[in-house]
């Protein structure tokens, strides 16, 4: 996750972001770590050190695992839709119901992950307010 310095600057927040790492939407933490290692092996100075996947806290691993699961579900829905489109024939009512069910399941998991992230963010903000 990155913060847009221009948008944050409009909120009166001072953000120093010289070492933000941005990855493609399909990149996993292991991909980023592998890329960072390849840069180090090539002699390039890394912008910011990336911890190995083993150094991540268990709670963070669980959260990233859920996000990867949502990505997998998105790929699954896309594969089913592409297979139906590539078939050339009209979808049967059973296939339509199956695709609709997969879409609803995907959206449920997206909303659940979003709700968990929002509640976590609210809790952290409350902790910071209490410490001030």
Segment 69-93, tens digit of pLDDT: 888 889 988 988 888 888 778 888 9
CA distance 42 to 29: 20
Cα–Cα distance list, 90 to 3, 58, 87 (Å): 45, 46, 8
DSSP state of 53: G
Which tens digits make up the pLDDT trace of 91-102?
889 888 988 999
| Confidence band, pLDDT 50/70/90 cuts, at residue 129 | very high
CA distance 93 to 32: 42
Percent of the chain surpassing pLDDT 90:
17
Interval 31-52 mean pLDDT: 69
Return mean pLDDT, the chain: 76
Q: Look up the pTM and report it.
A: 0.49
Which tens digits make up the pLDDT trace of 16-41?
444 545 555 667 777 777 877 777 77
Q: Please, what is the end-to-end C-alpha distance for the chain in angstroms?
A: 25
Return the pLDDT at 47: 59
């Amino acid at each position: 996750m990155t913060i847009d310095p221009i948008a944050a600057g409009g909120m009166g927040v001072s953000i120093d972001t010289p070492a933000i790492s941005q990855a493609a939407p399909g990149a996993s933490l292991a991909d980023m770590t592998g890329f960072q290692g390849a840069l180090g092996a090539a002699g390039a100075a890394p912008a910011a050190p990336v911890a190995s996947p083993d150094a991540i806290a268990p709670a963070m691993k669980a959260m990233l695992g859920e996000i990867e699961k949502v990505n997998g579900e998105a790929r699954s829905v896309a594969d089913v839709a592409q297979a139906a489109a590539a078939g050339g024939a009209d979808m049967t009512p059973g296939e339509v119901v199956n695709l609709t069910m997969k879409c609803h399941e995907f959206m449920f998991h997206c909303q659940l992950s979003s709700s968990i992230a929002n509640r976590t963010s609210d809790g952290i903000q409350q902790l910071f307010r209490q410490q001030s």
